[in-house]
Chain A
Amino acid sequence: MIVLQLVVNGVLLGGTYILLAQGLNLVFGVMGIVNLAHGSIITFVGVFTYWVVTQTNLNPLLLLPLVFVVALVVGGVLQRLLLEPLAKLGNRRELLSLMVTFGLSYVIVEMAINLFGSQYVSLPNLQETWTVAGLAVNEALVVAGVLGAVISGCLHVWLHYTASGKALLATSQNATGAVTCGIDVRRMRGISFAIGSALAAIAGVLLILILPLSAPTADTLTILAFVIVALGGLGDYKGAVFAGLLLGLVQSGVGYYLGGDVEVIVPYLLLIGFMVLRPQGLGQAAR
């Protein structure tokens, strides 16, 4: 029973990780840049959600459509203003985009600190725990896990069965080839950053129900998301699903048997192991 509970905990934790990483993964896949502001968007929206819910008693899940749309628009505008001009700079683009998103992350964190404070906050919503066949299952983790799965499913359907999704996928696989096929690569980059930002915003609303968050913890989330993306095979969204689940399951087992000190270094041990033994990541294995 303990092992089964560990598996359930690991899968639910993995669902949270998938949610955390898919936005970053999409941006990397299409634009070839690591969005260092990813964690900042998550924590900004997380503490914003806390603020709105404590002021209004609103169900935090009702904020999901709002933050999705706002982050979509803001992400699109930021990409056009800050990142698109770098696309013409050839090899320097990657380094400069890292610097821009690094700066952006600090601006967002400072905005969050000034608007909502720097303290750790969390919400008591969705804290029901159900017992199913002797296994404890928490409401917030289930919602986050299910949404993580739904988002990954939607990404899959969109990328493989719609014209715009196929265009985006083509851009991520070979931008030059996509241009020769008449795909507006510039538009694809804007779409990917907008959707990546919107996915980060969704993660922010849900994470505040799972973990205590504070605006300055943004870097920790960005690093964790990047580790999952790297484990999955940079830019491979199916790989990120497997990586999130693997990490959740391994951390669940390690935390139980070896304690909290070892649990926190699991992502980085896995990253080192994969980079040495299987640098292409899990995604290639999944295909």
Chain B
Amino acid sequence: MSGGTLRARGGAFLAPLIAVAFLFAATAVHAQKPIVVGASISETGPLAVDAAYHLKGIQLGVADANAHGGWLGRKLALKYYDDQSNPGTAVRLYTRLITEDKVDLLVGPYSSGISQAVAPLVNKYERPTPMPGASLPAIFSASNKWAFQLLPPATGYLDGILPLMKSQGAHKVAILQAQLSFTLACGQARLDQAKALGMDVVYSTTYAMPPPDFSSIALAIKSANPDGVVVCSYYPDAVGLAQALHRIGYAPKFFAETIGPAEDQFISALGPITNRIISNTSWWPALKTHDNAGFIARYKAMFHEDPDYHVAATYSAMEVLGAAVKATKSLDPAKLRDWIATHDVPTVEGTFKAGPTGLSIGFAQYMFQIQNGKRLLVWPVKDEQAKAQVPYTGQ
């Protein structure tokens, strides 16, 4: 009986010890368990060129965080899947990341169209999600509470080109838009701007993606004979249209395209016909933004190439998440959301500042021009590295 009492006493004595030991063990395991950041990336499909930079920005953000001991004493790990440039696939993948993989934090996918599909999901599951691929303002409507825009709105892409044209006496413009969310928003904004500036839109069309053969559209542009051609494009259509204009021997005085010209392979794919093409960016190496020089150096060391604004946007998304986690000392979604919604964060892209619906109101837009194989900032004037060279010669 005494033995039994002893056993009982021993059990009573050991139980808290065992519980404490388990607690310590669990805490130790927890301390070592990485904070998992989840995302879907368009590794294949028509958005793959630009989305590759999107991924690299997240990877650099994770590597930098880990180099400084991680967040909350835990290392970071990245979990991502290929969404094939398909919004439906992306929705399935984010559902999987949230419900099956149970990742701690999310970063939005590449492109406005895919972000638009994913945004309702992060609202449904109440996960604070920076969206570095979402320039479309409509994503950040009144009902949005959990998605935050990490790019300037699409309506501001190439918003300097028409004033630049007008300042040089050019009034006739052709405006083209790919049939995707971002490009349609960008194109409509340029059409509205042309009207507001009293400029003459002599040709306007939309086209499907993957891009068609552009030879007929190029000929239609030539027939309309605009002073400038403004294209709201991604990479493959930016290449295709530049090729098509060259093939019919037509060079408008001003030629501007979104996104494609920002990528290094744009120049290598097209050669000298890229000279004097104008494009836009939300980030630039020469800007005095937070840790910009360090960001560029670390990116070059990691990927052996120059970063572009897609990289800066996703890296900034990681900076915003990191600032929120450190400030709140928490991974609690509601705490993170409240902090992100109410705080300005200095990033490599500029100062992140969220409007009431998550729309970005802190970042600026710039325009650069390819001049003899180099990209130089030409707008706004206060930041210009060179004057815009006109006319575009197509060679």
Contacts and interface: CB of A to CB of B under 8 A. Distances in A.
Given A13-B215, A129-B247, A121 B208 contact: no
A6 interface: yes
A101 interface: no
B118 interface: no
B216 A263 contact: yes
B48 A118 contact: yes
B208 A260 contact: yes
B240 interface: yes
Contacts of A217: 46, 210
B215 A220 contact: no
Nearest to A13: B213
Interface in B248-298: 248-250, 265, 268-271, 273
B273 A127 contact: yes
Contacts of A136: 247-250
A190 B240 CA distance: 37
Interface stretch (B2-10, B152-160, B217-225, B383-391): B217-225
A263 B48 contact: no
B206 interface: yes
Given A255-B216, A260-B212, A54 B249 contact: no
B122 to A, nearest CB: 26
Residue among B179, B210, B247 having the largest count of chain A Cβ atoms under 10 Å: B247
Given A120-B46, A261-B206, A129 B248 contact: yes
B236 interface: yes
Contact of B216 (A121, A127, A216, A253): A253
B207 A216 contact: no
A95 interface: no
A285 B207 CA distance: 33
Contact of B268 (A120, A124, A216, A220): A124
Contacts of A122: 239, 243, 269-270
B43 interface: yes
A129 B273 CA distance: 12
Contacts of B213: 13, 211, 251, 255, 263
A103 interface: no
A261 B179 contact: yes
B205 interface: yes
A126 B72 CA distance: 56
B364 interface: no
Contacts of B207: 259-261, 263-264
Contacts of B240: 211-212
Nearest to A54: B268
A9 B215 CA distance: 7
B219 to A, nearest CB: 6
Contact of A212 (B215, B220, B269): B269
B303 to A, nearest CB: 14
Residue among B44, B45, B211, B249 having the largest count of chain A Cβ atoms under 10 Å: B44
B249 A131 contact: yes
B66 to A, nearest CB: 26
A281 B116 CA distance: 43
Given A127-B273, A259-B207, A118 B43 contact: yes
Interface residues of A, number: 41
Contacts of B166: none
Nearest to A5: B219
B84 interface: yes
B52 interface: yes
A260 B205 contact: yes
Nearest to A110: B44
Interface string A240-274: 00000000000111111101110110000000000
B335 interface: no
A22 to B, nearest CB: 19
B265 A119 contact: yes
Interface in A7-29: 9, 12-13
Contacts of A138: 246-248
Residue among A120, A127, A212, A264 having the largest count of chain B Cβ atoms under 10 Å: A120
Contacts of A171: none
B215 A252 contact: yes
A2 interface: yes
A113 interface: yes
Contact of A255 (B179, B217, B223): B217
A214 B248 CA distance: 25
Given A121-B265, A260-B206, A9 B216 contact: yes
B219 A121 contact: no
B89 to A, nearest CB: 12
Given A118-B44, A127-B271, A216-B45, A263 B249 contact: no
24 contacts: A118-B45, A120-B46, A120-B239, A122-B270, A124-B269, A127-B246, A129-B246, A136-B249, A136-B250, A138-B247, A138-B248, A214-B48, A217-B46, A220-B210, A255-B212, A255-B220, A259-B206, A259-B207, A260-B207, A260-B211, A261-B208, A263-B217, A264-B207, A264-B212
Given A118-B44, A260-B205, 15 more contacts: A9-B248, A13-B213, A122-B239, A127-B270, A138-B247, A140-B247, A214-B46, A214-B236, A255-B212, A255-B213, A256-B216, A259-B207, A260-B208, A261-B207, A264-B207
Interface of A: 2, 5-6, 9, 12-13, 54, 113, 118-124, 127, 129, 131, 136, 138, 140-141, 211-212, 214-217, 220, 251-257, 259-261, 263-264
Interface of B: 43-46, 48-49, 52, 84, 176, 179, 205-208, 210-217, 219-220, 223, 235-236, 239-240, 243, 246-250, 265, 268-271, 273
